[in-house]
């Protein structure tokens, strides 16, 4: 069980998925281009492999991620489930297990305000919003055209983690 709590995400990343280097240089007019590469800077921290979500209901989160994202399960035990979304592992961990990972820092209470949001780039936000609604997902906001050149919408996972879908505007 210890592997599921602390070693899961690192162990799962050993399949060496190739991930592109992404930078956010200013491309003018308040917009950014996620496809440009800045080869002048070498950054050893540019390979995020996993996000751990502290959940009050791991089975509900499992159902959410397998249904909404069609995410394959990489590992699960009684306190966690790890799933792959693109090049990222989403490690859903029971909130009761979180203190062992972040101590002495506190674990946010369930329902606390969002302090992180994950973004998925899509070709057409409106089409994806329709598909999400068909899967029973309620949008928090959007679709909205943003001044930085994106059309976005936000929805929540069962733990309250906000997910943004974003489309680059032409």
Written as six digits, the tokens of 146 are: 């943003």
User: Would you state the pLDDT for residue 40?
Assistant: 40
pLDDT in tens, the chain (170 residues): 333 444 444 444 434 333 333 333 333 344 444 444 444 455 666 777 899 999 999 999 999 999 999 999 999 999 999 999 999 999 999 999 999 888 888 888 887 877 788 999 999 999 999 999 999 999 999 999 999 899 999 999 998 889 999 999 98
Q: What is the domain partition of the chain in residue ranges?
A: 1-110, 113-170
Sign of the four-CA dihedral 58, 73, 78, 93 = negative
The beta-strand segments (E) located in 28-96 are 50-55, 73-77, 80-85, 88-94
> Which CATH architecture group holds 113-170?
Roll (3.10)
Class of 1-110 per CATH?
Answer: alpha beta
Specify whether the CB–CB gap between 129 and 139 falls below 8 A: yes
Specify whether the CB–CB gap between 154 and 141 falls below 8 A: yes
């Amino acid at each position: 069980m210890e592997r599921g709590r602390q070693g899961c995400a690192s162990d799962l990343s050993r399949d060496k998925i190739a991930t592109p280097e992404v930078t956010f240089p200013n491309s003018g007019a308040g917009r950014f281009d996620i496809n440009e590469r800045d080869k002048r800077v070498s950054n050893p921290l540019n390979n995020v492999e996993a996000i751990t979500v502290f959940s009050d209901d791991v089975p509900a989160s499992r159902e959410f991620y397998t249904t909404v994202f069609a995410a394959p399960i990489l590992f699960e035990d009684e306190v966690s489930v790890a799933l792959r979304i693109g090049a990222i592992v989403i490690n859903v961990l029971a909130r009761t297990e979180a203190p062992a990972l972040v101590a002495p820092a506190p674990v946010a209470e369930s329902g606390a305000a969002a302090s992180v949001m994950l973004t998925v780039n899509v070709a057409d936000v409106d089409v994806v919003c329709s598909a999400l609604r068909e899967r029973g997902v309620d949008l928090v906001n959007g679709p909205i055209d943003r001044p930085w050149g994106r059309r976005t919408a936000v929805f929540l996972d069962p733990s309250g983690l906000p997910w943004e879908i974003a489309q680059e505007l032409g």
